[in-house]
Structures are given as structure tokens and as C-alpha cells.
Amino acid sequence: MAIPVSSVLLYVKDVAKVAQFYVEHFGYLEEPGSTAGYRVLSAGKGCAITVHQAAKSQSSGAAVKIVFAVADVPKFIAERAAAGLRFGTIHEAEGYFFSNAKDPASNSISVSSRVFRRSGA
């Protein structure tokens, strides 16, 4: 039996800026009990994003990519562009679309319609 992932923890230099990015562009809500150095962001169900203050010796932006499920990738990218978020080229792969960007701490993010593709695609 697989154990579900409850949270992706990002170590960043500017907790407030990165937390606001996920609130503004992906609709996450900040959970009660946040501090200046630690914010838990929830989508209501599924995996949370925890934004944690990086140590001075730690670099921001680890080798991780957060993938957000989006039914209409081009539409989402156009809407986010109006709010200042820029994605790269839209790619097509085996019946779905995806595109990549970075958050303010240089963590890789992606929007993908993979979970919405039709069976057999």
C-alpha cells in the first residue's frame, strides 16, 4: 500500500514572497499558525506546500518540480500571464500538454493536463 505525500517542503530565502506566489497564481490558502519563517499552504485536499526559511548556508531552489493539474494548459498560461507569471513553451506529449516555469525561489513548477487525458491516449 502506497503512503500518500502530505506536503512538499520548499526551503527558500523569502518565505512571504514564495508563499504569496502560490496563493496568487495557484489558489492555495495559508493555513492558521504560520510564522515569518514557516508557512503551510493548502489546496483543501491533496498535497500541501510548506514554505520554510532556508538556512543562510542553504541555497534556494532545490532539484524538485511541483506539477499542477490543469485541464486547459494554454488557457491557464494566458490567464496567469495577465497576472505576471510567465511560462515557457507549451509541449505536447502522449495526449496531454505541459509547460514549465520557476517560482520566486527558482523552484521548478509545471502545469500539465496529463491527469485529464483520455484513457488509451
In terms of Cβ atoms closer than 10 Å to its own Cβ (0-12, 13-18, 19+), residue 60 is middle
**Tell me, what's the pLDDT at 85?**
95
DSSP 112: E
Q: Tell me the whole-structure pTM to 2 decimals.
A: 0.80
| Range of the structural domain that residue 35 is part of | 7-116
Total structural domains within the chain: 1
Q: What is the mean pLDDT of residues 79-104?
A: 93
Q: What is the mean pLDDT of residues 95-116?
A: 91
| pLDDT grade for 115, boundaries at 50, 70 and 90 | confident
Residue 2 lies in a domain: no
**Tell me, what's the pLDDT at 94?**
83
* Residue percentage of the chain with pLDDT more than 90: 56
Q: Which CATH number covers residue 48?
A: 3.10.180.10
Q: Which residue has the higher pLDDT, 65 or 30?
A: 30
Q: Which residue has the higher pLDDT, 2 or 25?
A: 25
In terms of Cβ atoms closer than 10 Å to its own Cβ (0-12, 13-18, 19+), residue 43 is middle
Residue 59 lies in a domain: yes
pLDDT in tens, 9-59: 998 989 999 999 999 999 999 998 888 889 999 998 889 999 999 888 876
